[in-house]
Amino acid sequence: MENVKRTGWKLMLLAGLAFVTVQTARVILGQLWGLSTNWSVIAIVATLGMATFFASIATLLFHEKRLIITGWIRQLPGWLKYSLAFLSLTIPPAVIVFSRWGAKLSDIWLRMELFIFISTLIWLLFFAPEDGRHSMAGLVLCASIAGYAMAVAAWLATVSTNPFGLSWSEGNRFYDYSVIFGKDLYHYAGQLTVPYNSPGRYALWGSLFLIPGLPIWAHRLWNVILWLGTPLLLSALLFRPVADRTYRRAATMWGAVFIMQGPVYPHLLVPMILLAVFIHRKNFWARLLAGAAISYYAGSSRFTWAILPGIWLVIADLVNEYPQRNGSWWKRLLPTVALGLVGILPGMKDSWFQYAGGSALSSDQPLLWNRLLPNPTYPEGILIGGLIAMLPVLAILLWALNTRYWRINWLALLAMAAGVAGTLVIGLMASVKIGGGSNLHNLDMCLLTLLFIASLALVKLPETTLPPINQPHILSGFVSAFVIFGLFIPGWTSYQNGTPVQKIDPAQITDAMNATKLAVSEAKKGDGEILFLDQRQLLTFGYIQDVELISDYEKKFMMDNAMGNNAEYFAAFDEDLRNHRFTLIVSDIQKIQLQDTRSAFNEENNAYVRWVSTPILQYYRPIYTNKQINLMLLVPIGEH
């Protein structure tokens, strides 16, 4: 029976690899065959290489000679193993992200074959299949490291000296972050504030403005450190009690790329990192005080996040402490209730009624339920994408509970179910609101809660019952294959999302900067004001100087008002445009082009066209447009 089960999961694994290999060969031959003799030879060599790789895996899984192969691998010197692993982890992401070949490697099957090859190669170098109980942990570790390496390359591509914004909102974000610690960077008569009630976010990114004079690339590097470092740090803290070193490392790296599937924003991860330091403390008062402070910090960043520390504190207390207490059930439950309240209420102070600077923006914006299903904005759809990301973890947890490998009381189980279900509902509601639904970041609380529960389960499982890949009496063939593919998903998601960097011609950057400086210089000669609707970072980092800042009419906030159809807000904007208040508007490219449901973010685009682009172009005309930079300079119609 054991041999049958063992063969079962191997056959399932081999079938999956065979399918991916065939699809990849089809793509390679379809794209390269016939282009030229050289490309045809490359296609043949690549296809034969994949066939060899597949045959090698089949040999390692089934053939009795596998011990000879793995024995040979083990005899390789350590320096060679680490060199091969380093090259495997760095060269493919570098080629995909930084070279012109990246566009050639965009097909999903090519990426999957490459990801599987790299993960398996590193696994063979360090975790030979006969290593028993560490084989699965090693496989997960290698796949997660491969995914993390791709994320590192993708984020490092954003570290640029380009003074203009690299994405739709990136430039103006630096302006937002500077407001707390960098008010003196601007010429502004009043009290400078931002319209969003998110001091936790601004303080985290804006802390770098405490060091005067740092260039824009340093702030972009800090952004990369936050996005890459906080998931890894939180995962390391959650899984640090795991006794087995290999399992702890595998869980840590897997947890980091699991978080990145959202992606989960660093200003939520930071309070949860602080909470993870205290979550397993026996001292009740330390957990109580930490929970209150962390709830307040989380709530200051986003009002829905205020409840997450309370959820974690309750679940951890019911799993770790409640079973050890004496007395009646309600007396034993009182500390749990206290932890839940102090983990929620401080963060709710003023938050539920003061989102987006106290306005009703969030509640006025419509819900787009079609984004739950496949759509142009997010091809998988939030429901399917969320299931792909979370269902494997949830299924493994349910399996562990059902088989009694993880024993918890019914109150803990109820708290976990309520926490996951509640955060999932909140995330789905946020995802379908206009402006959302392009990825899984609004499912952040649910992703983190599942990760937290997984950490509790892995910590509690006795070392002798940690499920190894080659012990079928613990894992059936189906569950083994499900675990392998399920735990591969986070790393694969990171590999799939790595995109080639969009290189901008330096001459275009120079031309755009010269045009902006000239337009600003000419505008200063008039009686009106200069509005940086976009590209405010040019003021933040001193590329444009001696300009009086107009804090009103910032692009992101205008988009929020447009999505909420806030006619009252735009009445003042229309009047200022009609009266030619501004001698120059520095903006993203404005165009009156409505989109249908076949386009991504069509609702957002149409709202912006209606409330922003149309009135601007009614009273102002462009004097300079740069599509690569997404820059438009406009002056009042009728002026030269």
Q: Tens of pLDDT along 184-204?
A: 899 888 788 777 777 888 889
pLDDT at 42: 61
Most confident stretch, 37-46, 544-553, 593-602, 609-618: 609-618
pLDDT of residue 471: 42
Residue 485, token pair as written in the block: 């593919």
Structure tokens belonging to residue 7: 């063969």
347, 309 in Cβ contact below 8 A?
yes
pLDDT at 44: 65
The confidence score (pLDDT) of residue 1 equals: 41
Q: What band does 162 get if pLDDT is binned at 50, 70 and 90?
A: very high
For the ranges 197-211, 282-296, 348-362, the lowest mean pLDDT is seen at 348-362
Winning range, highest mean pLDDT, from 102-106, 314-318, 359-363, 482-486: 314-318
Cβ burial 413-425 (10 Å sphere, 16+ → b, else e): eebbeebbeebbe
Helix (H) or strand (E) holding 635, with range, is: strand 631-636
- The pLDDT of residue 46: 65
Q: What percent of the chain has pLDDT over 90?
A: 40
Instruction: Pick the more confident residue, 433 or 358.
Output: 433
Q: Where are the alpha helices (DSSP H) in 239-320?
A: 245-260, 266-278, 284-301, 308-320
Q: How confident is the model at residue 301 (pLDDT cuts 50, 70, 90)?
A: confident
pLDDT beyond 70 at 121: yes
Confidence category of residue 415, pLDDT binned at 50, 70, 90: very high
- Whether 356 has a pLDDT exceeding 70, the answer reads no
HSE toward the beta carbon, residue 288, CA cutoff 13 A = 10
Q: What is the mean pLDDT of residues 481-501?
A: 77
Asked if residue 368 has pLDDT above 90, the reply is: no
* DSSP secondary structure, 518-534, as one string: HHHHHHTTSSSEEEESS
pLDDT band at 612; cut points 50, 70, 90: very high
pLDDT of 146 reads 93
Question: How would you class 392 by CB atoms within 10 Å of its CB: exposed for 0-12, middle for 13-18, buried for 19 or more?
Answer: buried
Residue 361 has pLDDT above 70, yes or no: no
**For 226-263, b where at least 16 C-beta lie within 10 A, e where not — what string?**
bbbebbbbbbbbbbeebebebbbbbbbbbbbbbbbbbb
Percentage, residues of the chain above pLDDT 70: 81
Tell me the range of 351-355, 465-469, 536-540, 563-567 where mean pLDDT is highest.
536-540
What the block records as the tokens of 220 is 């972009």
Q: What is the mean pLDDT of residues 562-584?
A: 93
For residue 344 the two structure tokens come to 């929620």
> In whole angstroms, how large is the CA radius of gyration of the chain?
27
Q: Which residues of 541-555 are buried (b: 16+ CB within 10 A; e: fewer)?
A: beebeebebbbebbb
CA distance 216 to 205: 13
pLDDT tens for residues 6-33?
555 555 556 666 666 666 666 665 665 5
Q: Is there a contact between 533 and 173 (Cβ–Cβ < 8 Å)?
A: no
- Interval 122-137: pLDDT, tens: 888 887 655 555 677 8
Average pLDDT, the chain: 83
**Average pLDDT of 400-421?**
88
pLDDT beyond 60 at 488? yes
Q: What does the pLDDT read at residue 634?
A: 95
pLDDT band at 262 (very low <50, low <70, confident <90, very high): confident
Taking the C-alpha atoms of residue 488 and residue 171, their distance in angstroms, rounded to an integer, is: 35
- Geometric angle at alpha carbon 338, from 336 and 343, rounded to 5°: 95
